[in-house]
Amino acid sequence: MTATAALSGDELKAKFEALDMPAIYTEGECDRMAAMIDEIRHLKVERNAAILAHNYQRPEIYEVADFVGDSLELARRGVDLEQEVIVFCGVHFMAESAKILAPDKTVLLPDMRAGCSLADSVDPDELVERRDELKKLYPDLQVVAYVNTTAAVKAVVDVCVTSSNAVSVVEKLDSQHILFVPDEHLANYVQKETSKTIISWNGNCYVHHQITPENILSVKRGLPNIKVLVHPECRADVVELADAVLSTSGMVRYAKESEAQEFLVVTECGLSDKLLLEVPEKKFYKACKLCQFMKMITLESTLDSLRHMRFAIELDEEVRAAAERSLLRMFELS
């Protein structure tokens, strides 16, 4: 594999004009970024590494990524990669999922502070205690975990789900009672869409939880024909205002395929940036909520990760194998 041809600062600046952020992507900053992008691309070849980046990453990270997608697409992509090293530009639980499914690869997370408020809202010991209590009341109970959970949590549940397959996987389980962790809003959404009895954990994503109906309605008043795309991690009163409730990759597909020209993208801001770059002929309005954890990954930390081969994700084999079972069961059911 050879490195891609170098990109100049001017080319990068021209590319990022669609984002309309001139104060961030200045000439000097684009020159600096172009030099780092070049070095990262060379180091990837030297280290036999691939970079997987989540949809919420910074636009400059897309420039060095081999694949950009949602958390599960990235984890699955990791399995088929010919490279031995994966640099995961996303948050900790996502890098763990990549390691769960590709244990023989070296999975690096450029900044170990890149956590997740949602994943952190459930502790595996508390979950086991709650599950055991509920099983006394509902012997048929199964525990379903959104993929936005740690490996230790995935290891103690019956099956994992994503935001796009949660409804269909839950519907296929041969239990009426479901303990759904950790996102209360996704749990509410699943409750509305299925015939099961959903018992919800009380976690949420601080980014989506901040978005209010008024944020949507104020845009709709000025642009009544705008298509509103909402992530199911949003509050129920926000989901009610959606034209479509979709995962991040579902939003990308919908925006590309729809005949509509204007969209309000109700999720973390990075996705709107991705759409502005990939679908320049359409207009995207942002919910303007940033995930501080996602934005901890920068070109500098990615470069350092490749230079020093850090920070490697390590998992206890028993935990990894149990977590893998929950993910594989999801693949079987979805």
Residues that bind ligand SF4 (CB under 6 A): 91, 116-118, 148, 205-207, 268, 291, 293-294
Least Å distance, CB 257 to ligand SF4, is 25
Nearer to ligand SF4, 68 or 294 (CB): 294
Least Å distance, CB 272 to ligand SF4, is 13
Nearer to ligand SF4, 120 or 278 (CB): 120
Residue 189 near residue 205, CB atoms below 8 Å: no
* DSSP for residue 5: P
Say which residues have a Cβ less than 8 Å from residue 207's Cβ, sequence separation at least 6.
117, 233, 267, 268, 289, 290, 291
Least Å distance, CB 322 to ligand SF4, is 22
Nearer to ligand SF4, 9 or 270 (CB): 270
Least Å distance, CB 91 to ligand SF4, is 4
Least Å distance, CB 42 to ligand SF4, is 29
The Cα diameter of the chain in Å comes to 65
Please tell me whether the peptide bond between 311 and the residue prior to it is cis, using omega within 30 degrees of 0.
yes
Lookup result for tokens 């959970």: 149
Q: How far is CA 177 from CA 28, 132, 157, 330, in A?
A: 57, 13, 14, 17
Q: How far is CA 332 from CA 79, 110, 169, 324, in A?
A: 17, 32, 9, 12
Distance, in Å, from the CA atom of 124 to the CA atom of 66, rounded to the nearest integer, reads: 33
**To 5 degrees, how large is the angle CA 202–CA 119–CA 137?**
45
Nearer to ligand SF4, 12 or 291 (CB): 291
Least Å distance, CB 71 to ligand SF4, is 8
Least Å distance, CB 113 to ligand SF4, is 12
Residue 64 near residue 50, CB atoms below 8 Å: no
Nearer to ligand SF4, 115 or 124 (CB): 115
Least Å distance, CB 97 to ligand SF4, is 12
Nearer to ligand SF4, 86 or 95 (CB): 95
Nearer to ligand SF4, 83 or 148 (CB): 148
Nearer to ligand SF4, 206 or 254 (CB): 206
Q: What is the DSSP string of 228-291?
A: EEE-TTS-HHHHTT-SEE--HHHHHHHHHH-S-SEEEEESBHHHHHHHHHH-TTSEEEE--B--
Secondary element (H or E) of residue 63 = none
